[in-house]
Structure 1
Amino acid sequence: MAEERALDRLLQRVDHVKDIGLHEGMRLLPTPAVSALGARLAMLGSHFRLRSKVERSMRALSHLRPDLDEAARRDLALLNLRNIGRTFAEFSCLHRVWDEGRITVVGRENITAPNAVLALLHLGNWEAGMGAIRGIGLRVRSIYQPPANKTQLAIAMRVRRSLDNDAIPGNAMAMREALRVLARGDTMIGLFVDEFKGGRVNAPAFGRPPARGGNIAMAARLAARAGVPLVPAYMLRVGETARFTANFLPPITPSGDAVADQAAIEAVIEPVVRRHLEQWLMLYAFRPDR
């Protein structure tokens, strides 16, 4: 038993060194090269450990895009996987993406208050959105669920701090902390409303019963209780490049009716995700029966 624990610790240390070394090494490369390397690694993985992710994406597409034949579903699933590969590799260079002029902002006028609630989506390179918000002179704190892998968490938090995103852990105190931040009047709160939690992708519903909890419900409650606008926002990758558009949609004024406010968010985000399934992180995790 002691030998097994020692082996586990050794393997964890090897993984830690590998992940940190890869992350730090890619920081030295030009941004397009980092992005392209991520796509290549994803395609390599599609033949091995990522094969099941491609298959799960294809099953999700059979529900979300029944008009596609099997070959087209596979092509779209692989395009989705390449986007994910690019996105995770780009963690190494997100601190410079805005300064390199790689983000175009669409809908800046829709942010009508500096302490709005952002209903975010895992599209394109979702973390690059924090750089866009900083770039247009605003502040944001996102609410996140920490990954189990401590090395990945450390990398993610380092990147978020480089983008001035002092992220809030998604625990029992998150709502209170978010309300405190919004009450200051100078910082937005961002929630990824399509999070995967409890074995379910909570939003969009795509014909399923609406989620009874999760970030989409929390976003509606936060905006209503703080009396601030709720702005749906998302990133899109431009082709298969390291260039993006940051999209801010017209604000939703919360009514205080939790069901109606959640439905209003759903009505905006579902068509967006359906149009851009090739860039949606949660495609492989979506199941129509959950």
Structure 2
Amino acid sequence: MTEHRMPETALRKRKAWRFAAPEAPPLSHLFGTSDERRQFRRYWLTGTLVNAIDLTVHFGLKLMTMDACSNFGARIGTFAIPRFHKVAVRRGRETLKRLLPEASEVERDAILRRNWQAQGRIMTEFSVINRLLKNMDRITLHDFDRLVETVRSGPTIIVGMHLGNWEIGPTILHDEGIRPYANYTPPKGRAKAWISARVRQKGGLNFLPPGAQGIRPSVKVLKEGGVISMFCDEGVAGKIRGPLFGRKPHLEGNLAVAVRLARMTGAQIAPWYNVRGDGFRFDAFFLPPIELPPEDKPGARISDDIQLLNDVIEPVILKHLDQWYFLDNGLPDTR
């Protein structure tokens, strides 16, 4: 394998991101400046209406069967995305052209259409995802013992990928009594944040603070022999951070966070992913754990470590672009 070793100082340092929850405007804003009145109306009037709609949709979808809910999402995806998310569609076409230059336009468009269906399914399935706890026959496990053995042997960083429906991860671990911790950033909107936290906690996920506030708690969990769950394929502000797709290793994403946490705590990295089968059914694959090679001094292998983890994740993503959540993000120029 080609060596990519570089000293840590040669990589651009990751900017520390700190999460700040939006604060509710006080009643005094109603009688304040025009900007304060606008904030008050947006939060208490418009926001309350949107929250009511979000709750109605969430609990309304619960009235459906699992398959009907999933299929409904597929139809919404193919209808709504090309009509109301044209920038995302354009980015998806450009990304596919760069990643699959040998494919025909017809082939790439077929992948994009299946991706719309997959994205729609993910959105509606959130309302019924925890029913899988009593319907585990819908998930076929491949080499699950690898993950269980790794977790039982010591601190573990479970690295997932945004394929299939990644929310099934805690469901799979539930029967083994494994409740991973994850740095959790609530979605915008009070109702969406409440729904998201409720569903994920019921599914078996423990929350840690997001961003820079979550680093120390993550290290503490791992040093105590615990389990952290995270994802190293990601899109931020419309740009793909991971996988690298031919770019040089960088510190601006979770690829770097994962390997740094592993180095700090001696944790093994356990990659896994799932792909969708027929509708609301999945195949989950658990890859061999990664134990980082020894290094001469702290940070000496940061570039190699990032590349090592990337080389596990990237081929899987490339093989299943039709189910990849971040396909509609742009791919920055190769650096």
TM-score, length of structure 1 as denominator length: 0.92
Matched to 1:19, the amino acid is D
1:223 aligns with 2:265: no
1:36 counterpart SS class: helix
Cα offset, 1:5, TM superposition: 4.9
Deviations 1:251-285 (A, max 9, x none): 11023532222111111111000000011001101
Counterpart of 2:313 in 1: which secondary structure?
Answer: helix
On the 8 A contact 2:179/2:206 being kept in 1, the answer is no
- Partner residue of 1:109? 145
Could you say which residue in structure 2 is the equivalent of 1:33?
68
Q: Which amino acid aligns with 2:42?
A: D
Give me the whole-angstrom Cα distance separating, in 1, the residues matched to 2:230 and 2:201: 17
Distance 1:81 1:259 in 2: 34
Does residue 269 in structure 1 map to residue 313 in structure 2? yes
How far did residue 245 of structure 1 move?
1.7
Within-5 A mapping of 1:127-138? 127-138=167-178
2:104 to 69, 72, 79: 69
- Give distance in 1, aligned partners of 2:133 and 2:314: 28
Report the alpha carbon displacement of residue 90 of structure 1 after superposing the two structures with TM: 0.8
Question: What stretches of structure 2 of length at least 5 have no aligned partner?
Answer: 1-33, 296-300
Q: Report the 3-state secondary structure (helix = DSSP H, G, I; strand = E; otherwise coil) of the residue aligned with 2:84.
A: coil
Equivalent of 1:125 in 143, 147, 165: 165
In structure 2, distance between residues paired with 1:183 and 1:96: 33
- 1:118·1:188 contact (CA, 8 Å) conserved in 2? yes
Letter in 2 for 1:216: L
Amino acid paired to 1:285: N
CA distance in 2, matches of 1:74, 1:99: 37
Alignment length (residue pairs)? 288
The aligned residue for residue 214 of structure 1 is 253
1:205 maps to: 244
> In structure 2, what is the equivalent of residue 168 of structure 1?
208
Per the alignment, in what secondary structure is the counterpart of residue 292 of structure 2? coil
1:54–1:78 Cα contact (<8 Å) kept: no
Are 1:44 and 2:73 matched, yes or no?
A: no
Q: Corresponding residue for 1:281?
A: 325
Deviation at 1:52, TM superposition (A): 3.1
Q: CA deviation at 1:197?
A: 3.1
* Corresponding position: 1:249 with 2:297: no
Letter in 2 for 1:144: Y
The answer on whether the counterparts of 2:275 and 2:282 sit within 8 Å (CA) in structure 1 is: yes
RMSD: 2.0
Residue 186 of structure 2 corresponds to: 146
- Judging changes above 3 Å, is the alpha-carbon distance between structure 1 residues 106 and 137 closer, same or farther for their aligned structure 2 residues? farther
Give yes or no for contact 2:182–2:208 (8 Å, CA) kept in 1: yes
CA distances 1:47-76 after superposition (whole Å, capped 9, x unpaired): 421333222211110001112222222221
8 Å CA contact 2:182, 2:205 repeated in 1: yes
The corresponding residue for 1:259 is: 303
The residue number in structure 1 matching 2:42 is 8
2:122 counterpart (77, 82, 87): 87
Secondary structure at 2:60 match in 1: helix
- Unaligned 5+ runs, structure 1: none
Q: Which residue of 2 aligns with 1:189?
A: 228
SS of the aligned residue for 1:82 comes to helix
Structure whose CA Rg is larger: 2
Q: Following superposition, which runs of at least 4 residues in structure 1 exceed 4 angstroms of deviation?
A: 2-7
Q: In structure 1, give the amino acid aligned to 2:93.
A: M
DSSP 3-state at the match of 2:327: helix
Distance 1:206 1:214 in 2: 14
Q: CA deviation at 1:286?
A: 3.2
How far apart in 1 are the matches of 2:37 and 2:243?
46
Amino acid at match of 2:251: R
